[in-house]
Structure 1
Amino acid sequence: MKKRRDKFRFSYNQILMIVLAIFLLLIAVIFLIKSQEINKEKESRECETDNECVASACCHPSSCVRIEKKPECSNRFCTMDCEGPLDCQAGHCGCINGKCSVVSSSK
């Protein structure tokens, strides 16, 4: 009784196509993972430029937020005390490492 080995024999072209398909699938997976990492990085960034950051409170703010989250300050009156890090031009809001932060004006 002869065993048939022909049944599972692949030609050179078939092996080449299988290797090529696996290679292309691997490349596609790498690109997908990379694009997700880039999107996560962009989502975690609060800002790109200083113009996107403003004070987080109307009076004596101690932190900064993205401009879309700025408080409504049209009918507010504040004291002239220089209490916070942004009062009396002691600092300003800026984008540092993708986060809105207080930037000291002193040098």
Structure 2
Amino acid sequence: MITMIFVSACTKINKGSIPPEKYCEKDTDCVPNKCCHAEDVVNIKYAPNCNGVGCTKDCRTILDCRFGTPICRYNQCTIKRLK
């Protein structure tokens, strides 16, 4: 009988090395950092209050017009390009 053992190595992320406003555990933790024409993403706890804010429909940044979306990668909020 042959016994096979698989060992999985995972890189543990040092939470202390990621700024708290960028730290995430899942994609839904990450949102744009500004109400209009955001250029970066942050943890939802650090998101601005956009109630009542009106934005233009200009496509100025990667997050405008759905060219990018906030995601959580290696426990850090970042932007995934879609096109």
**TM tier relative to shorter chain:** 0.7 to 0.9
Unaligned residue ranges in structure 1 (runs of 5+): 1-37
Matched, 1:53 2:26: no
Higher relative strand content = 2
Higher relative helix content = 1
Matched, 1:72 2:45: no
Sequence identity of aligned pairs in percent?
35
Unaligned residue ranges in structure 2 (runs of 5+): 1-11
**CA-atom RMSD in angstroms:** 1.7
> 1:14-37 deviations in whole A, cap 9, x for unaligned?
xxxxxxxxxxxxxxxxxxxxxxxx
Give me the TM-score of the superposition, normalised by structure 1: 0.58
Q: Which residue of 2 aligns with 1:34?
A: none
Per mean C-alpha deviation after superposition, the further-off stretch among 44-53 and 68-77 is: 44-53
Point out which structure has higher relative CO (alpha carbons under 8 A, 6+ apart).
2
Give me the TM-score of the superposition, normalised by structure 2: 0.74
Where does structure 1 differ by over 4 angstroms across 4 or more consecutive aligned residues? Answer: none
Which entry has the higher C-alpha Rg, 1 or 2? 1
